[in-house]
């Protein structure tokens, strides 16, 4: 897994020697399905690189409701930018949905990149901005059935890894609505 981590760092414009040094500085973490990696209202002390598995970030309300924020899978970086930049606790919970293997780096690495205006910091922020803009557009401009069709088109690899409750929560609909949408799509 070293190669995947080092390659991902070099794609962020980290020189190979620095990427290899960061691999040696990193730690590996394995998580069981359902394990919480970051609890809501705690501080994320590490940034994560997903080597294997599937994670889910969600917001939990005091009424017991859960709102899906994002899914993360192989070769994704998981960084709670809002909490890190504002110096506040994480507004969301991060949980493993499957067996997960992560490569972890201390947040001080990200802070150093920020201070140095390192291209890796800029690239990670740009990626996050693109993800947020796409999700916002999905939620604001499309009907629930269009959202599901776009989800199927954009993330076919997740359809077998997520259940209907998880997909529905990500799309901002109930699992009953998703079931109806799927039934209509099968009829057409």
Per-residue pLDDT in tens (0 to 9) along the chain, 188 residues: 568 999 999 999 999 999 999 999 999 999 999 999 999 999 989 999 999 999 999 999 999 888 899 999 999 999 999 999 999 999 999 999 999 999 999 999 999 999 999 999 999 999 999 999 999 999 999 999 999 999 999 999 999 999 999 999 999 999 999 999 999 999 98
Burial of 20 (0-12, 13-18, 19+ CB in 10 A): middle
H or E element, residue 46: strand 46-52
Q: Is residue 163 part of a domain?
A: no
d(CA 160, CA 92): 25
Candidates 77, 89, 168, 93; CA nearest to 130 is 77
Query: Can you give the residue range of the structural domain that contains 22?
Result: 2-117
Measured CA to CA, the distance from residue 28 to residue 7 in angstroms comes to 16
Structure tokens given for 8: 């991902």
Domain assignment of residue 108, yes or no: yes
Helices (H), ranges, 12-161: 16-25, 81-86, 107-116, 119-141, 144-154
Domain contains 188: no
What is the pLDDT, as a whole number, of residue 182? 94
In a domain, 138, yes or no: no
Has residue 66 been placed in a domain? yes
Give per-residue pLDDT as tens, 90-133. 999 999 999 999 999 999 999 999 999 999 999 999 999 999 99
Per-residue pLDDT at 1: 56
Q: What is the pLDDT of residue 65?
A: 86
Residue 71 lies in a domain: yes
Report CA torsion sign: 113, 118, 120, 125.
positive
pTM > 0.75: yes or no:
yes
Q: Is residue 134 included in any domain, yes or no? A: no
Output the domain CATH number for residue 26. 2.60.120.10
- What is the pLDDT at residue 2? 66
User: In the chain, how many domains are there?
Assistant: 1
142 belongs to a structural domain: no
């Amino acid at each position: 897994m070293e190669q995947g981590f080092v390659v991902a760092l070099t794609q962020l414009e980290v020189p190979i020697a620095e990427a290899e040094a960061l691999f040696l500085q990193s730690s590996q973490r394995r998580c069981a399905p359902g394990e919480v990696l970051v609890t809501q209202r705690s501080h994320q002390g590490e940034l994560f690189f997903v080597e294997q598995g599937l994670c889910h970030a969600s917001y939990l309300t005091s009424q017991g409701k859960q709102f899906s924020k994002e899914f993360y899978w192989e070769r994704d970086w998981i960084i709670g930018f809002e909490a890190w930049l504002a110096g506040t606790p994480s507004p969301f919970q991060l949980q493993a949905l499957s067996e997960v293997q992560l490569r972890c780096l201390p947040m001080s690495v990200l802070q150093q990149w920020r201070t140095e205006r390192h291209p890796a910091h800029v690239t990670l922020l740009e990626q996050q901005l693109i993800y947020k803009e796409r999700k916002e557009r999905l939620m604001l401009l499309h009907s629930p059935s269009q959202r599901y069709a776009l989800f199927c088109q954009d993330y076919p690899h997740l359809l077998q890894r997520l259940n209907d409750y998880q997909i529905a929560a990500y799309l901002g609909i109930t699992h009953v609505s998703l079931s109806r949408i799927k039934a209509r799509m099968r009829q057409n």
